[in-house]
């Protein structure tokens, strides 16, 4: 008997759970030469890709982690002098973070190695497979991200 769509989706989700753990373990080993963890690589990536300073809540939202989790990693990156903390003119209690020169160098070295790894991995899939996988994953993400709270517009 053929599996139902629901059973197929359940299989996809279980594979995602396994992939998440495997990616974290792999990422920890991948960035170990730079004395980083997957979590810190993720935070550096959020800042590098944004191209502008971000607050901890913005980093968290960009990477799909909790604000507290992002804050912990950003603090550790600040101690390691890979990110700098700047005042946020929009919110006094939520500073902005940006890469230092050292942070840019470290991220650049990791990114160069990652691009080679991505090239190797991408060779095992067709462009259509990757496009379909991207659409499915984006759809699953959209289905599980809470809607932003409605703003009360009292006048």
What letter does residue 85 receive in the DSSP assignment?
Answer: E
Q: Provide, rounded to the nearest whole percent, the portion of the chain with pLDDT above 70.
A: 94
Res 151: pLDDT: 56
Closest CA to 140 of 149, 132, 148, 129: 132
Q: Give per-residue pLDDT as tens, 95-114.
A: 999 999 999 999 999 999 99
Decide if 127 is inside a domain.
Answer: no
Say which CATH number the domain at 55 has. 1.10.10.10
The reply to whether 38 falls in a domain is yes
What whole-number distance in Å separates Cα of residue 131 and Cα of residue 136? 9
Q: Is residue 74 pLDDT above 60, yes or no?
A: yes
Q: Cα separation of 155 and 106, whole Å?
A: 50
Instruction: Write out pLDDT tens, residues 17-73.
Output: 999 999 999 999 999 999 999 999 999 999 999 999 999 999 999 999 999 999 999
Residue 34 maps to a domain: yes
Measure the CA–CA gap between 123 and 112, rounded to whole angstroms.
17
Average pLDDT over residues 127-153: 85
Q: Residue 102 falls within a domain, yes or no?
A: yes
Q: Is the pLDDT of residue 153 over 70?
A: no
For 1, 44, 82, the CA distances from 36, given in Å and listed in that order, are: 47, 10, 11
* Residue 21 maps to a domain: no
Q: Give dist(CA 110, CA 51) in Å, integer.
A: 17
Q: Is the pLDDT of residue 155 over 50?
A: no
H-assigned helices in the chain = 5-31, 38-50, 56-63, 67-79, 101-122, 127-144
Predicted local confidence at residue 146, as pLDDT? 76
The more confidently predicted of residues 136 and 93 is 136
In a domain, 80, yes or no: yes
148 pLDDT above the threshold of 80: no
Q: What confidence category does residue 150 fall into, taking pLDDT thresholds of 50, 70 and 90?
A: low
Residue 94 forms part of a structural domain: yes
């Amino acid at each position: 008997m053929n599996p139902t769509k629901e059973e197929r989706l359940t299989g996809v989700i279980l594979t995602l759970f396994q992939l998440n753990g495997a990616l974290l373990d792999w990422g920890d080993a991948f960035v170990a030469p730079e004395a980083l963890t997957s979590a810190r690589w993720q935070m550096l990536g959020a800042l590098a890709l944004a191209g502008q300073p971000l607050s901890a809540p913005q980093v968290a939202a960009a990477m799909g982690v909790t604000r507290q989790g992002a804050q912990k990693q950003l603090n550790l990156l600040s101690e390691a002098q890979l990110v700098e903390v700047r005042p946020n003119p929009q919110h006094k209690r939520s500073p902005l973070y940006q890469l230092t020169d050292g942070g840019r160098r470290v991220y650049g070295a990791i990114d160069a190695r990652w691009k080679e790894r991505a090239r190797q991995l991408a060779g095992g899939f067709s462009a259509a497979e990757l496009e379909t996988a991207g659409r499915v994953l984006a759809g699953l993400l959209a289905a599980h991200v809470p809607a932003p709270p409605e703003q009360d517009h009292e006048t």
